[in-house]
C-alpha cells in the first residue's frame, strides 16, 4: 500500500515536470526539408537500386546473422592478428608509415631545399668515378624547389660551381650555366620537362614510388631520427620521363627514407644505369644520387629561379658540344637524326684544314 502511494506521488511529479504537448508531424514541411526522400516515396522506390551501395555495415550484418559466419569471421580476425603480431612480416607498431598518408602530406609542401651528391661511375670498372674534361663527375648538390617558381640544381666540385640548371615554371624556360667554360644555354621547356619538374618534388617522388613495385624494408635510423625505408626497383614509372636520346634509363633501384614522426621523406637514394645518351655524352654510366630532405616550406626568393644569363657568359652552340663527344657517339647522334651528318664531317674537315694551315 505504501509502495503504491509512493509510486503515485512520483508519477504525478514526473508527469508534471516531463509532460509536453505532443508535437504534430507536418508531412509537407518534412518533404520540403528532405526533397530527395520525398521524391523516392513518390516514385515508389523505382530508382532506389541499392545493390551498388553495399556498405561495410551491410556486410557486417550479413556476417552476424548466422552463427557459422559469425564464428568464422572471429576466427579469421584472430588468425590475422596473430600473424601480424607474431608472424614474419614484422611488427607494424602504432607509428608505421603509410605511403598514401605521406603522399597526402607532401602534396602540401610549397618549397624545399635538397642537398646531396651526384656521382657518375663507369660500369664494370670497380666503380671508378668517370672524368670529363679533367673534372671528376662527383658533384655536391643543392636543389631549390618551388611549386610556384620551378627548380634550380647546382652541382659543385669542392667549392667550385660546375653547373647550374634552372627550370623556370612560369616562363616555361630552362637555363643551363657552365661556369668553368663561361657558357650558357637557354631552352624552351617542353611538356616532358615540366612533367619532370613535377616528379622532382617530394610529392612527385612519392607518387613515382607508389606507381611502381615497392616494398617496405623496415626501420632505420638517420642521425637519431627513426625512419622507415621503402625500396623501389621498378623502372617502368621512370621510363619516358626524359626522351631516350637525352637519358636512356635502363635500370633503376631507389630507396626512400620516411621519418616516422614527421611522415615526410628525409632521404632519397637512387642508382640508375643510363645507356648511351646525351646526358652521359654517349657513354654507359651509372648514376648514384643521394638527396637529403629536411628544409621544407622555406622562403625562397623568386630571383633564385631567374633565367637571365650571367654577364660575361656566351651562349654555347652545337659546335661547342661536338668536340666533347666521342667520334662513335657522333655517328650515333647522326644516326638518331639529332645532328646533321654533314655538320659533323664539315667540322672535322675544317679542323683538319686549320691544322694544316698552321
Partner 1 sequence: MKTQSRSVSHGMMAKTENEDQILVQQALRGKPKSFGELCRRYYPSLIAIADSILLDHHLAEDAAQETLAAACRNLKTLKRPESFGAWVGTICRNVAKDMLSELPRQRKAAERYASLEHDCDDCDHGMIMTEAVQQLPQHLREVVYLRFYNEMSYEQMAKVLGATQQSIDGRLRRAKKKIAAFLAKKGFRR
Return the beta strands (E) in the chain as ranges: 111-121, 131-132, 135-136, 138-146, 150-157, 160-168, 173-178, 183-188, 214-222, 225-232, 248-259, 265-275, 285-296, 314-315
CB of 34 or CB of 60, closer to partner 1: 34
CB of 26 or CB of 128, closer to partner 1? 26
Q: Please identify, using beta-carbon distances, which residue of 4 and 354 lies nearer to partner 1.
A: 4
**Measured from the CB atom, is 37 or 295 closer to partner 1?**
37
Q: Tell me the closest approach of the beta carbon of residue 293 to partner 1, in angstroms.
A: 37
- Strands of 125-190, DSSP E: 131-132, 135-136, 138-146, 150-157, 160-168, 173-178, 183-188
Would you state the cell numbers that stand for residue 137, as one nine-digit string?
663527375
Choice between 30 and 71, CB closer to partner 1? 30
Closest CA to 252 of 235, 229, 230: 235
Nearest distance, CB of residue 8 and partner 1, angstroms: 11
Nearest to partner 1 of 8, 108 (CB atom): 8
All three cell numbers of 43: 516514385
Q: What interhelical angle do 327-336 and 341-357 show, nearest 10?
A: 150
The residues pairing with 168 across neighbouring beta strands, listed in sequence order, are: 150, 173
Q: CB nearer to partner 1: give 25 or 56.
A: 25
Smallest gap from residue 68 Cβ to partner 1 (A): 20
Find the shortest distance in angstroms from Cβ 73 to partner 1: 21
- In the complex, minimum distance from the CB of residue 4 to partner 1, in angstroms, rounded to a whole number: 12
Least Å distance between CB 15 and partner 1? 5
DSSP letter for 137, please: S
Least CB distance to partner 1 at residue 51 (A): 11
Interface ranges with partner 1 (CB under 8 A): 6-7, 9-11, 13-15, 17-20, 22-25, 27, 30-31, 33-34, 37-38, 40-46, 48, 50
Task: Classify the phi-psi angles of 147: left when phi > 0, otherwise alpha if psi is within -120 to 50, otherwise beta.
Answer: alpha
| CB-nearer residue toward partner 1: 19 or 56 | 19
Q: What are the CA-CA distances from residue 245 to residues 145, 239, 329, 339 (Å)? A: 25, 12, 12, 12
Residue 4 cell numbers, joined: 503504491
- Dihedral in degrees, nearest 10, Cα atoms 341, 343, 347, 350: 110
Question: Minimum distance from CB of 67 to partner 1 (Å)?
Answer: 18
Amino acid at each position: 500500500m505504501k509502495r503504491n502511494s509512493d509510486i503515485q506521488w512520483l508519477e504525478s511529479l514526473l508527469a508534471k515536470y516531463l509532460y509536453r504537448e505532443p508535437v504534430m508531424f507536418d508531412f509537407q514541411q518534412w518533404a520540403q526539408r528532405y526533397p530527395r526522400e520525398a521524391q523516392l516515396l513518390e516514385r515508389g522506390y523505382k530508382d532506389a537500386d541499392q545493390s551498388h551501395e553495399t556498405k561495410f555495415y551491410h556486410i557486417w550484418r550479413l556476417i552476424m546473422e548466422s552463427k557459422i559466419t559469425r564464428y568464422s569471421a572471429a576466427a579469421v580476425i584472430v588468425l590475422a592478428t596473430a600473424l601480424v603480431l607474431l608472424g614474419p612480416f614484422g611488427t607494424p607498431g602504432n607509428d608505421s608509415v603509410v605511403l598514401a598518408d605521406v603522399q597526402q602530406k607532401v602534396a602540401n609542401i610549397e618549397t624545399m631545399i635538397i642537398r646531396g651528391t651526384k656521382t657518375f661511375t663507369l660500369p664494370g670498372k670497380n666503380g671508378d668515378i668517370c672524368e670529363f674534361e679533367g673534372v671528376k663527375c662527383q658533384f655536391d648538390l643543392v636543389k631549390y624547389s618551388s611549386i610556384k617558381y620551378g627548380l634550380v640544381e647546382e652541382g659543385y666540385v669542392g667549392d667550385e660551381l660546375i653547373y647550374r640548371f634552372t627550370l623556370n615554371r612560369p616562363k616555361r624556360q630552362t637555363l643551363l650555366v657552365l661556369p668553368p667554360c663561361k657558357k650558357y644555354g637557354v631552352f624552351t621547356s617542353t611538356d616532358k620537362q615540366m612533367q619532370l619538374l613535377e616528379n622532382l618534388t617530394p610529392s612527385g617522388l612519392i607518387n613515382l614510388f607508389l606507381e611502381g613495385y615497392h616494398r617496405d624494408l623496415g626501420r632505420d635510423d638517420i642521425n637519431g631520427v627513426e625512419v622507415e625505408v621503402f625500396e623501389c626497383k621498378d623502372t617502368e614509372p621512370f621510363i619516358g620521363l626524359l626522351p631516350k636520346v637525352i637519358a636512356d634509363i635502363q635500370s633503376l633501384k631507389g630507396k626512400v627514407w620516411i621519418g616516422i614522426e614527421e611522415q615526410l621523406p628525409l632521404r632519397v637514394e637512387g642508382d640508375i644505369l643510363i645507356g648511351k645518351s646525351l646526358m652521359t655524352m654517349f657513354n654507359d654510366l651509372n648514376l648514384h644520387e643521394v638527396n637529403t630532405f629536411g628544409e621544407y616550406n622555406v622562403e625562397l626568393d623568386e630571383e633564385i629561379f631567374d633565367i637571365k644569363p650571367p654577364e660575361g657568359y656566351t651562349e654555347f652552340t652545337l659546335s661547342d658540344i661536338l668536340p666533347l663527344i666521342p667520334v662513335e657517339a657522333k655517328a650515333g647522334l647522326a644516326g638518331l637524326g639529332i645532328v646533321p651528318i654533314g655538320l659533323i664531317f664539315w667540322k672535322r674537315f675544317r679542323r683538319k684544314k686549320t691544322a694544316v694551315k698552321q
